[in-house]
Structure 1
Amino acid sequence: MRQHQLRAFIQVAESGTIRAAARQLHLSQSALTKALRELEEDVGTELLVRSYKGVEFTAAGRVLLTNARLALASLEKARDEIRTLQGGAGALVAAAVTPLLAMDVLPRVWQAFNTRQPDARLSLSEGFLAELIPGLTEGRLDFAIAIANPADLPHELMFEPLLEVSAVPAGRAGHPLAGATRWHDLQDAPWTLNLSPGSQSETLLEWLRASALPVPRHITRCTSPTLMTELMRRTDAIGFCPTRLLADPMYGTGMQAFTSLSPLPPPMQAGIIRLRAMPLGTSARLLAELFIRQLAP
């Protein structure tokens, strides 16, 4: 397998059609088709089929696509490391950070990293676990700091716990149910929750069912932390929020935790998630170490 073949294969996946991929790569369609055919001959099986919808990948094609992305990402990271060693422009570091740490930890880490690595190119994103796993397994992210249950992660990812994260129901200041003591009192209230796989909200619902406690009946699903926060702050919608965020003087303004409830769910773990088989580059390792120092007890 050659690099140009893998790049062509990946571009087809990203563009959706042979024609669009050829245009992006500044190749003729015949040249791109030849590269794909040679790739299929090399692996000994069909990787993709054309349809009226565009291009569809076979099972073998999907396996190769994930590994091709990882392989090219690894090569690019190696080039970055070499350029850095030779005094060239700094490496690109791509990390995802849970919104939980965006308030107090991230600004301090960002300042320290820019002081130590002023030439590095830093790409930061936020997201929940289900959105981060593809970026990690395909090498598009160096690492993520997220809330996770290690048992739910794919084998190729490793998890280094950094802190326990407690969360409670919360709503606007003066919410009529803020003093509720039973989960039954909240069952018919409006809730806004992110129910992505592995999220704290999904874990909450699993815990309620396992504990034979009532599950909220009226849930607005939301994957945006900003939208959830504003619904909680400006309406009677109840959310499930880390106590660390509620204690922040800026984020927690206008909201209050429902701490009178009993029982409360157990805490979850937040930590660094990265690929087992890919060591962090110099700049990515520094960024991870800065997070670890800030979160050390």
Structure 2
Amino acid sequence: MKNHHLRALLKVAEEGSIRGAARALHLSQSALTRALRELEADLGSELLIRSYRGVEFTPSGKVLLKRARLAFSTLDKARDEIRWLRGGSGLQVTVAVTTAIATTSLPAVLREFEREQPDASLSLEEGMMSTVLPGLMEGRIDFAIAVAEADQLPHEITFEPLTELLSEPMAREGHALLGATDWSQMAEARWVLNLAVGSSAQRLIDWLEAQDISISQRVVKCDSPIMMVELMRRTDLIGFGPRFFVDDPLSGRGLACFDTLATFPAYTIGLLKLRGVPLHPGAERLATLFRRHISSLNLSRRPSSQ
């Protein structure tokens, strides 16, 4: 198994076809096909299924693809560590951040990190578990600050709890159901929710169904936070998200929470990273800043006036 074999495999996955991969690598299709066949012969297993629709990866191919991505990402992190030793120029850090932290701690973290590392390149992604887990497993993300349950994570991922987060249903000011005192009164409402695997909204539905309250048939599914907020402001759709979002005078304009309902169990926000793979110094410094700023937050309670 040689370096050019793995690069060929990765490029096929990236381009979706052998023809596209050969073009991107400036190789003939026959040369690329030969490299892939050599790789399959070395492993004794078929990695790709070729058809008129392109290529698909076999189970063996998917395993190798995941590990190859991680291997090359680890080498990239070694380069980042060397850049850090040289003063930070060219340093790259990629982190996924949940919306709750993006609107509270992130601005201060960014200011401090940019002051310390003005030449570093920082990439931010949405901290949804559906993208966080593959991103961490493939080495594309250095670490994530996200909502998670430690006992539901794969063994390869470590979880460091940082704070608790209260999420609640929210709607436009003046909504007819804002005075509801029991969750059963919410069963006939129309909702707008992100139902991605591991999302807070999916946990809400599971929690309600455990109490024989079903809302899953009355949900407009939406994966855009901005679109959900605007639909809550401008229609009778009810959303679900961090309590502080409504209490904040900027983000919460025109929105209200259901203060007479019993509170939903708080979530845990924590730092997720790949087990056994140390963060390079730049990513570790950014993680330290997140830990410090998040430790001062109180996101798990309703305001005392409620």
Residue equivalent to 1:281: 280
Structure 1: distance between partners of 2:110 and 2:81: 20
Q: Give, in angstroms, the shift of residue 104 of structure 1.
A: 2.3
Question: Map of 1:70-85 to 2, 5 A cutoff?
Answer: 70-85=70-85
Partner of 2:265: 266
Shift in Å at residue 32 of structure 1?
A: 1.2
Distance (whole Å) between structure 2 residues aligned to residue 101 and residue 197 of structure 1: 20
* CA displacement 1:203-223 (0-9 Å, x = unmatched): 011111113334354110111
Q: TM-score, normalised by structure 2?
A: 0.93
Deviations 1:13-64 (A, max 9, x none): 1111100001111121122112212211222211112111101111100100
Q: How far apart are the structure 1 equivalents of 2:17 and 2:65?
A: 15
Check whether the contact 1:189–1:216 (CA below 8 A) recurs between aligned residues: no
Residue 291 of structure 1: aligned partner: 290
Secondary structure of 1:226's match?
helix
Q: Does 1:192 align with 2:222?
A: no
Any idea what SS the aligned residue of 1:180 has? coil
Map Cα deviations across residues 152-188 of structure 1 (whole Å, 9 max, x no partner).
Answer: 2111001111111111111011111111112222211
Q: Is the CA contact (8 Å cut-off) linking 1:188 and 1:216 kept in structure 2?
A: no
Partner of 1:257: 257
Partner of 1:240: 240
Taking the aligned partners of 1:260 and 1:50, their CA distance within structure 2 comes to 59
Q: State the alpha-carbon separation in 1 of the partners of residues 249 and 4 from structure 2.
A: 52
Query: In 2, distance between residues paired with 1:214 and 1:35?
Result: 54
- For 1:207, the aligned partner's letter is W
Is the counterpart of residue 3 in structure 1 residue 3 in structure 2?
yes
1:231–1:237 Cα contact (<8 Å) kept? yes
Query: Aligned with 1:76: secondary structure?
Result: helix
Measure, in 1, the Cα distance between the counterparts of 2:84 and 2:131. Answer: 30
Q: Percent identity?
A: 52
Q: Deviations over 1:72-118 (max 9, x none)?
A: 00011112212332357232100011111122211111110000111
Structure 1 residue 104 corresponds to structure 2 residue 104 = yes
| Matched residue, 2:62 | 62
Alignment correspondent of 1:202 = 202
Q: How much does 1:124 deviate?
A: 0.7
8 Å contact from structure 1 (residues 190, 237) kept in 2? yes
Question: Is 1:90 the counterpart of 2:90 in the alignment?
Answer: yes
Do the aligned residues in 2 keep the contact of 1:186 with 1:216 (CA within 8 Å)?
Answer: no
- TM-score where L is the length of structure 1: 0.96
Determine if contact 1:148/1:269 at 8 Å carries over to the other structure: yes
What amino acid is the match of 2:173?
A
Offset of residue 68 of structure 1: 0.5
Letter in 2 for 1:270: I
Inter-partner Cα distance in structure 2 for 1:156 and 1:216: 32
CA distance in 2, matches of 1:77, 1:22: 27
In structure 2, the residue matched to 1:35 is 35
List alignment gaps of at least 5 residues for structure 1. Answer: none
Counterpart CA distance in 1 for 2:275 and 2:49 is 33
Q: Please, which moves more after superposition, 23-32 or 232-241?
A: 23-32
- Unmatched 5+ stretches in structure 2: 297-306
Superposition deviation, residue 135 in structure 1: 0.7
